[in-house]
Every structure is written in structure tokens, then in C-alpha cells.
Amino acid sequence: MVKVAIMGHGTVGSGVYEVFAMNAEKIARVAEQPVEVKYVLDLRDFSHLPYADKFVSDFSIIENDPEVTVVAEVMGGTGAAYEFTKRCLNAGKSVCTSNKELVATHGEELLAIAKEKNVNYLFEASVGGGIPVIRPMMQCLAANEIREIRGILNGTTNYILSEMIHKGVSFEDALKQAQANGYAEKDPTADIEGHDACRKICILSDLAFGDKFDPNAVSCEGISKITLTDVEEAGKLGYVIKLIGRAVRCEDGTAYAYVAPHLIPKNHPLAAVEDVFNAIMIDGNATGDVMFYGKGAGKLATASAVVADMLDAIAHAEKRRPVEWGDGSKNLLRPIDTLESVWYSRKPGKPAVITGPMTTERAMRDCKDAAALMRVL
């Protein structure tokens, strides 16, 4: 019998409990023993739930219980989640999380503690929700140098763009629909300005290239300036507009990483990714392009990825999974203006593709207005 704890009982946290309940038999088969959720940490009142007796409001109960060996951190943010994760790891407990903000911001420190304490810090659910991405990239592509990563990493913006492309809905109205459908938060900034996608491309870059990519240093442009006219003009030329998180490795080991709307040819596999779906395409120097596709969010999908990590942590209780990256001192991030692309100039009245590839500076000679330029994938 393994005992685990869940920190946070929001959407993902309650989903983690639900997955343990609904798939108990399968989980016991994989873990080769039953797995029991001993505690759920949350300050709110859940006394109406059938598992109300699991709830604790004092973190130190989990921290000080040696029976609990694996903890799910599904609180979100970089406040208490950061502190509690550190204390769990220091107490010799593995931590599994969907918290992309925490991994992108403090991953290297938390992984260093995990290494020192010989426990696991795993975060498959932090990128792509329930879509397998991190483990396939790190394990199945282990014999590859990763050359490039291109992903539709945010379901909210992809839903908004899909509505604009296929139904002619304006950005503002599509955003309102997304909020009404529960796909977007009341404050949608993190999604529509690309910050969420930025954290995810940083995590993938950290893993692929071995040193920290700071979300604050990575160029990040969202979709709030994309108009229906842009979408229509791009369509006429055979493209769709998608928000892409992208990382490109250079020969010397440095890399580009950024988030920006791109024009994508309609026959490209990423162009067919609609609505709230995500897809991540990874180019290995031996495999070529492989793509992972599915719903990038959702309660049970994300929760099941957290639970899969917990099962992996149980399997690797003695010999931890070797995951780590540097503190950013290698300065691998290249200035984005030097990344050559084919460009699209969306100047009113005469939109056109500027064949290249060329740098931003060179593209600016053709199109004087930086805000009117968009990269073509």
C-alpha cells in the first residue's frame, strides 16, 4: 500500500481524486499495490463531500507524515505552492504537478532539491494537459538531438482563432464565447497575451536544451491584435493564423524560444488543430517530426497525467528519474530578431508574403511597420 496526498482541491485537484477513485483497479495494477489518497489539502469547506474526512488545512500534517511518499501539487501559482513543494521535497517526498508557472519559474531549484534528496519532481501535466509530451520527448526521443519544437500550446487562444477563422466571429466576441464556455478566465490576459504558452515553451526548452529559459526574457506576443481582416487575408493566401510557441536549436547549442502568432500553410498538420485542441510537433535529428495531439486542458485529462506521474514516482522510489536543467547561466537564449523567417506583411490594403528567410531587420526594409509583420511557419 502506497499513501499519497493531494495539495489543492480546485478543478485539477478534485480531478486527481476522481481519477484515483474511478480507475483504482488499473492504478493498483500499475503500481503493483493499492494506492490510497490519505490527505487532501485545502482551506475551503468541503464537508459535504463523501471523502470529507481526507481534508486537512494544515500543510505540516502532510509534511510530517512519513507514510505519505508522493504528493500532487495542484494548487497553482508560485506562492504557497512553491513553499510547500520545497518542503515536501526536503522531507523526502516526490512531488508531481500541473503547475506550469512554478516549473517555468523555479523548476531548476526544485529539481536540484529533488536530486539532492533522491526523490522525483515530475510535471508531465504542465505542458499539454493530458497529452503525453514531456515523457515521449525525454525518453522516446532520448537518442535524438532536438532540433525544433513548434506547438499550439494554449487551448483558449486556439478556440478563439478557430471561431474567427471558421465562423467569422470577431476576436472580442470569440473571447466572450470562450469565457461563457469556461475555456477562458474572467481575466484572460495570461491566455490571450501568450504568457501561458510562453511558460510551456520555456519548460520544453529547459528540458530539450538543458538550461533555464526565463519566461521573462522570452519574446512573447499574444493574439489580441489579430483582426478578422487578418484572418481573412491570410485565408485567401492559403494560410491560417495560429498562436505558436516555438524553440529552435542552433548548431552551437544556443537556441531561439518565443511565442507569436504565425501564418501556417493550410496543409500543415498544425493547421488542422482546431478549437481547444493542442498539438506539439518535435523535430529530432533522427526521427524527424513527430506530433502529439489532444485536448490540452480539462479536469480529468490533466488530472490523469498528474496521477501517471505519481505512478512513475512510485515505480522510481529508489532510483529517481534523472531530470534537471541549469540555472540559466549558460545564456542559451538568442535574440529573437536574428531568427530568419519567411514573413507576412499585413499592411492594410496590400497584405503579402515576403519570401525569405530573412531577419526581422531585413523584413523591416520591405515593411516599415514592425506591428504589421508576422512570421510564416
Q: Which residues are catalytic?
A: 200
Cell readout for 157 is 487562444
- Binders of a second copy among residues 244 to 283 (CB under 8 A) are 269, 272
What 8-state DSSP symbol labels residue 186?
Answer: S
Query: Strand 146-152 and strand 239-249: pairing?
Result: antiparallel
Least distance in Å: CB of 336 to a second copy?
A: 26
- Binders of a second copy among residues 273 to 332 (CB under 8 A) are 284-295, 298, 300-301, 303-305, 307-308, 311-312, 315, 318-319, 322
CA distance 319 to 97: 20
CB 365 within 8 A of CB 359: no
CA distance 152 to 154: 6
Write the binding mask 106 to 145 for a second copy: x where contact by CB under 8 A, - elsewhere. ------------------x-----xxx--xx--xxxxxxx
CB 242 within 8 A of CB 157: no
Q: Is 377 in the site for a second copy (CB under 8 A)?
A: no
Give the nearer residue to a second copy in terms of CB position, either 298 or 357.
Answer: 298
CB 160 within 8 A of CB 166: no
Give the nearer residue to a second copy in terms of CB position, either 19 or 247.
Answer: 19
Give the H or E element holding residue 263.
strand 255-265
DSSP string, 288-330: EEEEEEEES--HHHHHHHHHHHHHHHHHTSSS------B-STT
Q: Give the residue from 120, 156, 152, 132 showing the smallest Cα distance to 311.
A: 120
Q: Is the dihedral of CA 89, 135, 199, 205 positive or negative?
A: positive
- Binders of a second copy among residues 12 to 41 (CB under 8 A) are 19, 22-23, 26-27, 30, 32
Write the binding mask 163 to 202 for a second copy: x where contact by CB under 8 A, - elsewhere. ----------------------------------------
Least distance in Å: CB of 319 to a second copy?
A: 6
- Counting residues that bind a second copy (by CB under 8 A) gives 48
Write the binding mask 143 to 162 for a second copy: x where contact by CB under 8 A, - elsewhere. xxx-----------------
Q: Can you tell me which residue has the cell 515536501? A: 88
Give the H or E element holding residue 210.
none
Least distance in Å: CB of 58 to a second copy?
A: 28
Cα distances (Å, whole numbers) of residue 267 to 235, 239, 263, 313, 377: 12, 9, 12, 40, 12
Give the nearer residue to a second copy in terms of CB position, either 323 or 372.
Answer: 323
Give the nearer residue to a second copy in terms of CB position, either 145 or 214.
Answer: 145
Least distance in Å: CB of 301 to a second copy?
A: 4
Buried b (16+ CB within 10 A) or exposed e, 24-33: eeebeebbee
- Binders of a second copy among residues 73 to 92 (CB under 8 A) are none
Give the nearer residue to a second copy in terms of CB position, either 35 or 367.
Answer: 35
Give the relative orientation of helices 228-236 and 155-167 as an angle to the nearest 10 degrees.
70
Give the nearer residue to a second copy in terms of CB position, either 324 or 366.
Answer: 324
Give the nearer residue to a second copy in terms of CB position, either 192 or 264.
Answer: 264
Least distance in Å: CB of 57 to a second copy?
A: 27
Least distance in Å: CB of 368 to a second copy?
A: 38
Residues that bind a second copy (CB under 8 A): 19, 22-23, 26-27, 30, 32, 124, 130-132, 135-136, 139-145, 269, 272, 284-295, 298, 300-301, 303-305, 307-308, 311-312, 315, 318-319, 322
